[in-house]
């Protein structure tokens, strides 16, 4: 019950009771002694309503007290509501470190779940949401997904955040930032984005720049570099020492070494190609099959046979089969055996 309505009803009741006693029961006055003190003489009707007034005051104080407690509880819920909205925003943004403190049990349970989850909106979603924080972040995510570049500074996201990476990727594709900008600022851009950009960068960059940023080297980038060796366009001249340094920065298996040899077969001089894979095979056993492939591909049968003759019986079986066929006068494409 609202205090104003309660007060109005209580006053009406007090007046009616006092009037009824005074008008219909007695108009006499009387006095009381209270702990040896004689109280003034008042009408009996007044003495009747005084306890009612005291009861009214006590009840109002009681209601005010519990109303105050209810207000505090409501404020806790309101604050927790704002915190749960912030937690949902952080979950949408994919923040890693989240620890919100909730005061109410219901929000504490929900908040714990949200703080330990990442929310991925599926497809396009409606941003007609009353809460501004949620509406803004959902609009932002929509924009990034649509290839737009947005401002993310106010959210204090790490460079490794997926939204940050995609947003910087959008900026790169729009030409707002260059590959040199991304590769030159290691602390600002995530390594996954730097490796992605590096693949584009090595398609036209000089060898000195390629080596400068080779911490972003990947297998795809390496094959792009190899495809430029003595190529007709964007020609890249590189010594074996420079190429070996790039190979050593990656862990390639035997098939990948063979693919590298195939890539170089189109433009690299045979002598340099043979020497390159000879040196690689000396440092990495996984490159030996690529060396054998290179020798057979360039019709260097004698040195290839020497390697096969000193190998273990169960080693390089496809190449031994190919060598045996060549000894028998059969000519097959070496690519059929790798």
pLDDT attached to residue 244? 94
Biggest alpha carbon distance in the chain?
Answer: 143
First to last CA, the chain: 88
> Average pLDDT, stretch 131-145?
88
Confidence of residue 128 (pLDDT cuts 50, 70, 90): low
Is 310 in contact with 288 (CB distance < 8 Å)? no
pLDDT attached to residue 36? 66
Q: What does the alpha-carbon distance between residue 47 and residue 37 come to, in Å, rounded to a whole number? A: 17
DSSP string over 247-308: HHTS---HHHHHHHHHHHTTTS-HHHHHHHHHHHHHH-GGGHHHHHHHHHHTT-HHHHHHHH
pLDDT attached to residue 150? 93
Residue 228 DSSP one-character state: T
Can you read off the two tokens belonging to residue 115?
């703080």
The mean pLDDT of the chain is 88
Each residue of 71-121: pLDDT tens digit? Answer: 778 888 888 888 899 888 888 898 887 778 888 888 888 888 888 887 877
Which distant-in-sequence residues (6+ apart) come within 8 Å of 316 by Cβ?
Answer: 288, 289, 292, 307, 308
Instruction: Inform me whether the pLDDT recorded for 144 exceeds 80.
Output: yes
Instruction: Inform me whether the pLDDT recorded for 127 exceeds 60.
Output: no
Instruction: Inform me whether the pLDDT recorded for 164 exceeds 60.
Output: yes
Q: What does the alpha-carbon distance between residue 58 and residue 54 come to, in Å, rounded to a whole number? A: 6
Each residue of 5-54: pLDDT tens digit? Answer: 888 888 999 899 888 887 888 888 777 676 767 667 778 788 788 888 88
> Average pLDDT, stretch 163-190?
93
Q: What does the alpha-carbon distance between residue 122 and residue 125 come to, in Å, rounded to a whole number? A: 7
Each residue of 251-309: pLDDT tens digit? Answer: 999 999 999 999 999 889 999 999 999 999 999 999 999 999 999 999 999 999 999 98
Q: What is the CA radius of gyration of the chain?
A: 43
Q: What does the alpha-carbon distance between residue 14 and residue 47 come to, in Å, rounded to a whole number? A: 11
Q: Where are the domains of the chain?
A: 3-93
Q: Which of the two residues, 275 and 335, has the higher pLDDT score? A: 275
Is 214 in contact with 249 (CB distance < 8 Å)? yes
CA atoms within 13 A on the CB side of 84: 18
Q: What does the alpha-carbon distance between residue 275 and residue 268 come to, in Å, rounded to a whole number? A: 11
């Amino acid at each position: 019950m609202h205090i104003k309505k309660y007060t109005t009803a209580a006053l009406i009741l007090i007046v009616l009771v006092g009037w009824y006693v005074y008008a219909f029961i007695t108009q006499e006055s009387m006095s009381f002694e209270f702990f040896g003190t004689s109280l003034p003489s008042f009408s009996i009707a007044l003495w009747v309503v005084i306890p009612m007034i005291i009861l009214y005051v006590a009840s109002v104080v009681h209601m005010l007290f519990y109303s105050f407690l209810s207000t505090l509880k409501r404020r806790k819920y309101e604050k927790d509501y704002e915190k749960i909205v912030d937690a949902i925003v952080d979950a949408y943004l994919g923040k890693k470190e989240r620890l919100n403190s909730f005061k109410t049990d219901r929000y504490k349970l929900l908040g714990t779940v949200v703080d330990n989850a990442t929310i991925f909106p599926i497809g396009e979603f409606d941003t007609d949401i009353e809460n501004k924080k949620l509406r803004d972040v959902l609009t932002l995510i929509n924009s990034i997904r649509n290839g737009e570049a947005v401002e993310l500074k106010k959210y204090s996201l790490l460079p490794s955040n997926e939204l940050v990476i995609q947003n910087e990727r959008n900026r790169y594709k729009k030409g707002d930032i260059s590959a040199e900008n991304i590769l030159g600022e290691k602390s600002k851009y995530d390594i996954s984005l730097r490796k992605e950009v590096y693949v584009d960068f090595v398609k036209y960059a000089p060898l000195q720049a390629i080596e400068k940023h080779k911490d972003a080297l990947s297998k795809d980038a390496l094959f792009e570099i190899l495809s430029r060796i003595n190529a007709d366009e964007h020609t890249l001249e590189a010594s074996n020492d420079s190429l070996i340094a790039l190979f050593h920065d990656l862990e390639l298996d035997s098939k990948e070494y063979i693919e590298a040899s195939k890539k170089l077969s189109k433009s690299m001089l045979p002598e340099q190609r043979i020497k390159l894979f000879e040196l690689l095979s000396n440092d990495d056993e996984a490159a030996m099959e690529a060396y054998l492939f290179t020798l057979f591909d360039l019709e260097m049968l004698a040195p290839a046979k020497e390697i096969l003759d000193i190998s273990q019986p169960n080693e390089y079986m496809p190449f031994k089969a190919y060598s045996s066929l060549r000894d028998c006068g059969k000519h097959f494409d070496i690519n059929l055996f790798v």
